[in-house]
Amino acid sequence: MSNRPLTLFTGQWADLPLEEVAELAAGWGYDGLELACWGDHFEVDRALAEDDYCQGRRELLARHGLDCWIISNHLVGQAVCDHPIDERHQAILPARIWGDGDPEGVRQRAAQEMADTGRAAAKFGVETVVGFTGSSIWHTIAGFPPVSAAQIDAGYQDFADRWNPIMDVYDEVGVRFALEVHPTEVAFDTWTTQRTLEAMDHRPSFGINFDPSHFVWQFLDVPDFIRTYADKIFHVDCKDAKRRLDGRNGVMASHIGFGSMNRGWDFVSVGHGDVPWEDMIRMLNEIGYDGPISIEWEDAGMDRLVGAPEALEYIRKLLWGVPEGSFDDAFASGE
């Protein structure tokens, strides 16, 4: 069997106290949690201000036989580069980051919080932070009104200007950042990932959180992406997506909320969509990825108390041990 830990991402469980989530996850057989930096699960400001906060989080997890290798701060990270900044961000950001809502002020406070997230991660004893970066050019994706090459260039420069100082802090404290390649980010497919890494001058501490669900509805090759960016995959999340393209439903999802059969695609619990899970795991084995594999449960049509343990068992069955030799070694005569 593989020794890679299987964890539960707590972002979709932040309405529950961490103690309750830990009890559930332990009962299902998870090895640990990927702690979200919202709800009461991991609070960056408290981690830095209170001497005993990080130890208290560790003790809470240990009471349930759990560990933590990753913390995630997607929501604040999204505001670092986003344009426009609007009521969507106000709904997901802490009041102290939103402040008076002035867009540039929000971006600056979000950047400071992401730098502090690296400091808090180091204090907590984890080596990788997962999150989003936001994008000042995502709103141009449809290509009309016409978008100039200079505008796209400026968007990647804006990203680099805002994130390099954050990454300087991560380098100082010995922590890595893994951007989840995802629509609405500067990196959302193969080629934008390449451009993002180039914008950061391929600095070693900036890498990728791989979630295959975002590749399915874009018709991207999951194993190929893993192979292409093998040295930059710092963490793996498992979420599934189902395409329902019937001539009416389109990949742009038609402003229809999750859970509707009128969407061209939807997030579903692991094993219920179109992610090629076995090929993905085999490719992770091939590149030598040995870090945590985290279940990110999202399914508007399935109770999470059913989906989370089922997804764990689905992925666990695919984490068979890799043999030390080839099956045809047994054919040798031994002479």
pLDDT per position as a tens digit, 297-332: 999 999 999 999 999 999 999 998 777 777 677 677
**Contacts by 21-26, CB closer than 8 A, 24 or more apart:** 22/60, 22/61, 22/63, 22/64, 22/66, 23/64, 24/305, 24/308, 25/64, 25/66, 25/308, 26/64, 26/65, 26/66
Residue spans per domain, the chain: 6-331
From residue 280, give the alpha-carbon distance in Å to each of 114, 215, 291, 322: 30, 12, 14, 14
- The pLDDT tens digits of the residues spanning 49-105 come to 999 999 999 999 999 999 999 999 999 999 999 999 999 999 999 999 999 999 999
Residue from 318, 207, 220 nearest 270 by CA: 318
Dihedral angle of Cα 176, 41, 242, 249, to the nearest 10 degrees: -100
- The pLDDT tens digits of the residues spanning 246-288 come to 999 999 999 999 999 999 999 999 999 999 999 999 999 999 9
Instruction: Give the pLDDT confidence score for residue 165 in this predicted structure.
Output: 98
- The pLDDT tens digits of the residues spanning 120-134 come to 999 999 999 999 999
Residue with tokens 């068992």: 313
Please report, as a single letter, which amino acid is at residue 60: L
H helix or E strand, kind and range, residue 35: strand 32-36
In CATH, the number for domain 6-331 is 3.20.20.150
In degrees, rounded to 5, the angle at the alpha carbon of residue 92 between the alpha carbons of residues 9 and 133 is: 70
Task: For 269-284, give the secondary structure using H, E and C.
Answer: CCCCCCCCHHHHHHHH
- Calculate mean pLDDT across residues 197-204: 98
Instruction: Give the pLDDT confidence score for residue 331 in this predicted structure.
Output: 73
Instruction: Give the pLDDT confidence score for residue 335 in this predicted structure.
Output: 59
Q: Kindly report the pTM of this predicted structure.
A: 0.96
- Intra-chain end-to-end CA distance of the chain, in Å: 32
Residue from 84, 78, 85, 80 nearest 101 by CA: 85
Residue from 113, 109, 122 nearest 170 by CA: 122
pLDDT at 229 over 60: yes
Phi and psi torsions of 292, nearest 5°: -65, 150
- Calculate mean pLDDT across residues 101-123: 98
- For the chain, percent of residues with pLDDT exceeding 70: 98
- Calculate mean pLDDT across residues 135-144: 97
Sequence-ordered alpha helix ranges (H) in the chain: 18-28, 44-49, 53-63, 74-81, 87-92, 95-98, 103-124, 149-173, 190-199, 213-216, 222-228, 277-287, 304-318
Instruction: Give the pLDDT confidence score for residue 2 in this predicted structure.
Output: 64
- Calculate mean pLDDT across residues 36-55: 98
Query: In whole angstroms, what is the distance from residue 251 CA to residue 7 CA?
Result: 30
Q: Which two tokens stand for residue 140?
A: 């141009």
Mean pLDDT of the chain: 96
226, 284 contact by CB (below 8 A): yes
- For the chain, percent of residues with pLDDT exceeding 90: 94
pLDDT at 334 over 70: no
Instruction: Give the pLDDT confidence score for residue 3 in this predicted structure.
Output: 81
Q: Do β-strands 6-9 and 233-238 pair in parallel, antiparallel, or remain unpaired?
A: unpaired
